[in-house]
Structure 1
């Protein structure tokens, strides 16, 4: 059995958090938009660097002008996927703000910023400069399309590797 790690999906309303989870866990995509109310929890086992991890994915309702993320949901997280809608530039600022809140609640745990909706590149509002700025800030960045599946496995794998790397000193010391 794999070690369980809680991962929170964070981002503005409508960026594709639920669609990314559905693509990653069940290999499906639906055009129908369904707002997440509260939190939905899914799981998937991944193999990374010779280890098995059970990623327990907390798909949190999106943050918008009416609703903010429940800080209590963030506690105990091993990592965060911060989802940005490539067609809406304002979702970058929301993701950065949520990253700060997540770090305040859970500590300095790994995060991957996901630029979603790569299948709609023609209408993207996030340019190479904005993406490069995220990378220069030391953030892990991945491009995905929940619709086509492009980059989805890689984004979750990057987070799993970062989680394992962040835990490596404590595992070597035998304190876990």
Structure 2
């Protein structure tokens, strides 16, 4: 089951019980809106507090619009330094979308095996 929980306000409306039993998740950030990165940080903490530590990937979307990006390489490197997996994607072109799901599935399987 995939739940699409967008934005912090919408996330708070969703009952936390929907997240229980989740094996992993994608945090999708809009590269053209820097505030979505901060929302992703907050969501990650809330999800971890609700369901514990499970695999997740930070998906930086709108890679096809890099000239409009508000998130820079330094900020991306800081996220990577946290140990987070970061995938650059474009929902418009499909770049990185399948890769994101494949990597998450592999991380979930690794987590089950351990």
Question: 2:87 & 2:11 partners in 1: Cα distance?
Answer: 24
From 74, 95, 110, give the equivalent of 1:150: 95
From 48, 68, 85, give the equivalent of 2:30: 85
Partner of 2:81: 136
Q: Does 1:124 align with 2:69?
A: yes
Partner of 2:11: 68
Q: As a proportion of its length, which structure holds more helix?
A: 2
Name the Cα RMSD after superposition: 1.2
Q: Greater Rg, structure 1 or structure 2?
A: 1
Question: 1:113 & 1:78 partners in 2: Cα distance?
Answer: 15
**Shift in Å, 1:72:** 2.2
Normalising by structure 2, report the TM-score: 0.92
Question: 1:74 & 1:133 partners in 2: Cα distance?
Answer: 27
**Shift in Å, 1:57:** 1.4
| SS of match in other structure, 1:68 | helix
| SS of match in other structure, 2:4 | strand
**Shift in Å, 1:146:** 0.5
- 1:1-176 aligned within 5 A: 56-60=1-5, 62-64=6-8, 66-69=9-12, 70=14, 71-169=16-114
Question: 1:154 & 1:111 partners in 2: Cα distance?
Answer: 13
Q: As a proportion of its length, which structure holds more strand?
A: 1
Gaps of 5+ in 1: 1-55, 170-176
Question: 2:55 & 2:72 partners in 1: Cα distance?
Answer: 24
Normalising by structure 1, report the TM-score: 0.61
